[in-house]
Amino acid sequence: MTNSNTYDVLIIGSGGAGLSLALRLADQAQILVLSKVSLNSGSTYHAQGGISAVLDANDSIESHVKDTLNAGAGLCDRETVQITVSQGKKNIEWLKKQGVEFTVQQSIDGKTTFHLNREGGHSHRRIVHTADATGKAVSLTLIERNRQHPNITLLENHNVIDLVTNHHEKYSEQRIQGAYVLDTLNNRVKSIAAKIVILATGGASKVYLYSTNPDISTGDGIALAWRAGCRVSNMEFMQFHPTCLYHPKERSFLISEAIRGEGGRLILPDGSAFMHHYDSRKELAPRDIVARAIDNEIKKYGIDCVYLDISHKPASFIRQHFPTIYQQCLSLGIDITQQPIPVVPAAHYTCGGVITDHNARTDILGLYAVGEVACTGLHGANRMASNSLLECLVFAERAATDISKQLPTSPEPFLIPDWDESQVSDSDEEVVVSHNWDELRRFMWDYVGIVRTNKRLSRAMHRIDLLKVEIAEYYGNFRVTSDLLELRNLVIVAELIVRSAQQRKESRGLHFTQDYPETDNSKPPQNTILVPEIKQ
C-alpha cells in the first residue's frame, strides 16, 4: 500500500475556480492541480460574455441582488446572493492585479473606466469583459500565474476515477483522503493522497446531444461526490442557452448574450420579430424565457432555427465589440455585419450540483466544491447571465480562506491502496461505450430537454436503468479509459436530473413541464435535495 503522491491540497479542475483557488492558497501549501485534458480545455476558457459586478455609479449592490433573485424564480438563497454580489468589485480588482486586461473606455471627464455590457436579466450595465473572449483572457492569465508559483504542480491529461474517503478516529464524519486518478497519456492509475480536496470540475451539459460546452463537461465532480456520499440539489435546473450557432460544421459555438444586450434582435426566417409575444423585456428576458420562446417558434413553424440580427449596428462597432464571433461566423460564410446569425438553444449551464455551505464545504470533511459543480444557492431555478464566473472567484476566495484555517490541524491522509487491475482485461468492444454515450445524450435531449412531461421523464429513466447495468458490467470487467469514466459519470448525472425533475410537481425557472405548466405559489418554494442511499 503506497501513495504515488501526497499533497496538502488536491484541486480537480483547471478552470477559473480551481486556478484562482490555487493561487490564493499557494503561499502556504503544496498544491496539485489536475486537468482532465489541457489546462485551457474547460468552460472558463470558452466564456465570451464576462463577469457581472457592480462598478457603475448608477448601479447598486441592492439592484444586482434583486435582479439575481428575480432570475432565480424564488429559489436563490438570499444570503448567498448578498455575499457573492458584494464581493464582485474586489474580485475584479484581484483579477486585474493578476494581469487580466479588461476592455476599458474613456469617461466624459477623461478617466479610464471599465466598459460594461448589459445582458439578459440585468437592469444595469455591469458585465466586465475582455472584448468577447473574457474567459480566454482570464484562463490564460491564471494558467501563467499558476505556472510561475513553485508550490503549484499542474498535471494535464489526468482523469479522476473516484474519490477516496475514510473515517478518522478524531472525527465521527467521513473524511477525504485523496483520489484514484487515470494518467490518460500513459494509461496508468495513480493513487494521490491529500489533506484537502477541491472539486472544480465544471458542469454536466454534455449529458445532452447539443451543448455550448466543451466535450469534457461530463458532470465528473457531481458524480464523484455522489458516489462518495455527498448530497446534490436542484439538478432539474439545466440552463439552455438561447443562442448557439446553428451550422453543420460548428455545433457548440456560443453566440454571446452580449449581442442581444447591444440591440441584437431575434427574428424568424421571414424577418419578423417574436420575443414581444413572450415577454415585455423581449430579447433581454432571462435565458429560460428566451430559450423556451425559440424552442416554441421552431416547433410551431417546423423550422430548423431562428436568427439573431445585429447587422443594423455599424460594422466597425460589431467588429470591435465581437471580434471572436465575427471571425468565427465569417469563417463559415456568415458576415454578421450584413446578415443574421442562425441560432438554436443548446444545453449550457448546470444550476444545481453538490450542496455546499458559504465556505464551499461539502458533506465530507476536507472536501470542497467550487464553481459550476457546486450548488451554493446563488442561481436558484435559473442562473442570471455572467454570474457564473463571479461565483467561481468569490467562492474560490472563501474556500481558500477556510482551507487556510483547516490545514494546520488537518490530519495526514492514510495510505491509499494501489489500484487493483488483476481481475480486468483490455476491452475488445469499445463500440459499446460510444454507442451508450450517443444513446444517453440523444434520449436526454428528446425527453429531458427544454420542455418536459411525466411520460418523457419515465421513458428516460427506463433507459437510464438499463444503461446503468450495462455500464456497471463493462466497468467491472475492463480496464478504465477516459471515455468509460465519462460515460459512467454521465449516466449518474442523467439519473440525478431525471429524479429531480420527477420530484418537482410544478414549472419553475428552467424546469418546464406540460403536466404542471404553472408555478406552485401555494407554499414557499423548496429546493430538490437528493441523498445517496449508501455512504461509502
Contacts of 422 (CB under 8 A, 6+ apart): none
Residue 124 near residue 167, CB atoms below 8 Å:
no
Residue with cell 454515450: 437
* CA within 13 Å, CB half, 365: 17
Cell numbers representing residue 500 in the block: 429531480
User: What DSSP string describes 135-180?
Assistant: HHHHHHHHHHHHHH-TTEEEE-SEEEEEEEEEE-TT-SSEEEEEEE
Identify the active-site residue in 227, 287, 452, 504. 287
Neighbours of 161 (CB within 10 A): 20
Coil, strand or helix at 208 = coil
> What order do you get walking across the sheet with 374-375 strand by strand?
374-375, 353-355, 232-233, 529-530
Does residue 287 carry a catalytic annotation? yes
Backbone phi, psi, residue 271, to 5°: 95, -5
- Give the alpha-carbon dihedral of 426, 429, 432, 438, to 10 degrees: 100
> What region, left, alpha or beta, does residue 64 occupy, with left being phi > 0 and alpha being psi -120 to 50 degrees?
alpha
Q: Which residues share a beta bridge with 25?
A: none
∠ Cα 327 332 336 (to 5°): 55
- Catalytic positions: 287
